[in-house]
Chain A
Amino acid sequence: MPISTSLSDASATVALATLLAPLLRAGDVVALHGELGAGKTFFARAIIHALGGPEEVPSPTFTLVQTYDLAPAPVWHFDLYRLTRPEDAHELGIEDAFAEAISLIEWPERLGALLPAERLDVHLAFGRSENERVVTLSGSPRWEERLKALGLP
């Protein structure tokens, strides 16, 4: 069952990311969906911070991927906005990331069939007020089990 909750402002987004971050393990794929400005980079940044990453977490739109050497696994933060052919993702070493790292992927639909089925989907949408977002978490059966640990309604 997808979990849907409202995030009233940026600090609520940070709180959710901080709750989620300790669940992440090597090989995990988190697909961040949402239109321009929905807060995908913000969410990814909050996860990286929660895992002890550096203060500076740049938007990877320009470089496509930024990597962080963190525990329990390295984090690869992808922004596939500028990718047009899924195959081009091979050039970024995305398979290495799937095998050994925690992959946070913005614009995951650009991957087409290359997007692993075993993943957590995070959908971010605009809410009623300017800073509000509605987040929906869903995923493979294994992820559904893990999400229960979050204790979200």
Chain B
Amino acid sequence: MLALGIETSCDETAAAVVDGDRRIRSSVVASQLEHHRPFGGVVPEVAARAHLELLQGLVRRALEEATLGFDDLDLIAATTGPGLIGGVIVGSTLGKALALARGLPFLAVNHLEGHALSPRLSDDVPFPYLLLLVSGGHCQLLAVEGVGRYRRYGTTIDDAAGEAFDKAAKKLGLGFPGGPAIERAAKAGDPKRHPLPRPMIGRPGSDFSFSGLKTAVAHAADAIGRAPTDQEQADLAASFQESVASSLADRTRNALRRFADEFGPGHTLVVAGGVAANTRLRQVLGDLAAREGVRFIAPPLALCTDNAAMIAWAGIERRRLGQEDGLDVAPRPRWPLDAEAPPAPYAGAKA
């Protein structure tokens, strides 16, 4: 089975071809970072136009690199939400048009499902497993029981972790994207220098909160009273990173214990999403998994950040179950994986 995947839900335009034997035949990502860097964040209108300009060429390149043509494909899978609506419309419309023109089944893929199933593409992880999804737009813990069967154990009640990295980096004058900028600066910093709050630690459940930490970084930076020195920046970055990592680990530990209660011991913890690129976070989660007696998988970075291979793969997994979507399926800016999840106490979730 050969699938073409299309991903345009945020700042990456991507296309990929994946086969049913878990081989990524091609995966091209045109990071729009150069478009966005001057603005200190992803700019949605720029994103929609850039997707439009880039996408057809990327699809062609994905097929060329796989040395395949449209006739070889068995399905088209495109991200249809959640995300910035402009980009999602561009990608899903092209996917539908290709499916219609070539008489192929169209799979409208939930971007979060792409992330959720990616460890099966990279590491053939059997169901069930626990997924920590941490990116700029999403922050949640999901029990992945099967294709289309997800239960949300926890979510952010305010900001996503990646959003907190971006905003803290902006406050510290470290630039965009915030994740790599904070990690770079933190290398030379003392994580104990600034006693920042460790959000939610010790509380029951697996919800996250990063808004207060963001505010604490703002207070600490303002308290310096002038532009921070390199060392001050580094210390604050290191303290911030340590707070995020330990908070994520604490929430994940609670989720692992609940998961063990429900599914038995000895399963797998998977981390995905752009924030999974953070070395310190991987270290902390790896230690946690070892302590809790579960396997720890962090898919390769190219599969952790937004990419189209995971979208193609989710299409394959769903197609194997006989699924297909109509061409009238509407793009969705919000699209929770677990529609039945109880609302997070008092505040918000990202998806």
Residues of A bordering B, CB below 8 Å: 35-39, 41-42, 45, 54-59, 61-64, 66, 81-85, 88, 91, 126, 130
Interface string of B155-187 (1 = CB under 8 A from A): 010111001000100110000000000000000
0/1 interface trace, chain B 312-346, chain A, CB 8 Å (1 if under): 00000000000000000000011000000001111
Whether B136 pairs with A62 at a CB distance below 8 angstroms is: yes
Q: Does the CB pair A41–B44 fall under 8 Å?
A: no
Q: Do the beta carbons of B219 and A82 come within 8 Å of each other?
A: no
Q: Is B128 an interface residue (CB 8 A)?
A: no
Is there an interface contact between A36 and B214, defined as CB atoms closer than 8 Å?
A: yes
Whether the pair B214, A37 counts as a contact (CB closer than 8 A) is: yes
Residue contact A88 to B84, C-beta cutoff 8 Å? no
Some 7 contacts from A to B, beta carbons below 8 A apart, are A36-B214, A37-B216, A56-B348, A57-B347, A83-B43, A84-B43, A88-B45
Find out whether the CB atom of A36 lies under 8 angstroms from the CB atom of B218: yes
Q: B162 — nearest CB in chain A belongs to which residue?
A: A62
Distance, CA A82 to CA B44, complexed state (A):
7
Is A82 touching B41 in the complex (CB atoms < 8 A)? Answer: yes
Number of inter-chain CB pairs below 8 Å = 95
Q: Is B211 an interface residue (CB 8 A)?
A: yes
Q: Known: A36-B170, A36-B218, A126-B222. Is A56-B347 also a contact (CB below 8 A)?
A: yes
B326: shortest Cβ distance to chain A, in Å? 25
Interface string of B255-295 (1 = CB under 8 A from A): 00000000000000000000000000000000000000000
What 0/1 pattern do residues 1 to 31 of B give for CB contact below 8 A with A? 0000000001000000000000000000000
- The answer, among A39, A41, A42, A62, for a CB contact under 8 Å with B137, is A62
The answer to whether A82 touches B39, judged by C-beta atoms less than 8 angstroms apart, is yes
**Bound complex: CA of A35 vs CA of B348, how far in Å?**
20
Instruction: Give Cα A83–Cα B44 distance, bound, in whole angstroms.
Output: 7
6 nearest interchain CB pairs? Answer: A37-B215, A58-B348, A88-B45, A62-B137, A55-B343, A37-B218
> Which residues of A sit under 8 angstroms from B43, Cβ to Cβ?
82-84, 88
Question: Can you name 17 extra interface pairs (CB under 8 A) apart from A56-B347, A62-B136, A130-B219?
Answer: A36-B214, A37-B215, A37-B218, A42-B158, A45-B347, A57-B348, A58-B349, A59-B159, A62-B84, A62-B137, A63-B85, A63-B137, A83-B45, A84-B43, A85-B45, A88-B44, A91-B48
Contact of A37 among B211, B334, B343 (CB under 8 A): B211
Known: A37-B211, A41-B211, A62-B136. A55 touches B45 (CB 8 A): no
Assess the A63–B218 pair: CB atoms within 8 A. Answer: no
Shortest C-beta distance, A104 to chain B (Å), equals: 14
Q: Could you tell me the distance in whole angstroms from the C-beta of B158 to the nearest C-beta in chain A?
A: 6
Residues A36 and B167 in contact, CB atoms below 8 Å apart: yes
Contacts of A54 in B (CB 8 A): 343
Shortest CB–CB separation between residue A118 and chain B, in angstroms?
26
Q: Considering the complex, which residues of chain B in the window 140-166 have a beta carbon less than 8 Å from any beta carbon of chain A?
A: 156, 158-160, 163
**Complex interface: chain B residues within 8 A of A39 (CB):** 215
Give which listed residue, B163, B170, B214, B346, contacts A62 with CB less than 8 A.
Answer: B163
Contact A55 B333 (CB under 8 A): no
Distance, CA A38 to CA B86, complexed state (A): 29
Q: Please measure, in the bound complex, the distance between the C-alpha atom of A119 and the C-alpha atom of B248, giving whole angstroms.
A: 40
Q: Which residues of A contact B167 (CB under 8 A)?
A: 36-37
Residues of A within 8 A of B201 (CB): none
Which residues of A sit under 8 angstroms from B61, Cβ to Cβ?
A: none
Query: Which residues of chain B in 62-89 are interfacial with respect to chain A, using CB atoms and an 8 Å cutoff?
Result: 82-86
Nearest-Cβ distance from residue B221 to partner chain A, whole angstroms: 10
> In whole angstroms, what is the CA distance A59 to B192 when docked?
29
CA A126 to CA B211, docked complex, whole Å: 15
Query: Assuming A56-B347, A57-B347, is B137 touching A37 (CB within 8 A)?
Result: no
Question: Closest Cβ of chain B: how far from A124's Cβ, in Å?
Answer: 11
Question: Which A residues are in CB contact (< 8 Å) with B345?
Answer: 55
Residue B42 CB within 8 A of the other chain:
yes
Question: For residue A45, which residues in chain B have a CB less than 8 angstroms away from its CB?
Answer: 347-348
**Nearest CB in chain B to that of A64: its residue:** B44
Smallest CB separation, B123 vs chain A (Å): 28
- In the complex, the answer to whether A42 meets B222 with C-beta atoms within 8 Å is no
User: Closest CB-CB distance, A17 to chain B, in whole Å?
Assistant: 14
Are A37 and B219 in contact (CB-based, < 8 A)?
yes
Residues of B within 8 A of A83 (CB): 43-45
The CA-CA distance from A85 to B45 in the complex, in Å, is 9
Q: Which residue of A lies closest to B222 (CB)?
A: A126
Q: Is the CB of B333 within 8 A of A63?
A: yes
Separation of A60 and B48 alpha carbons in the complex (Å):
18
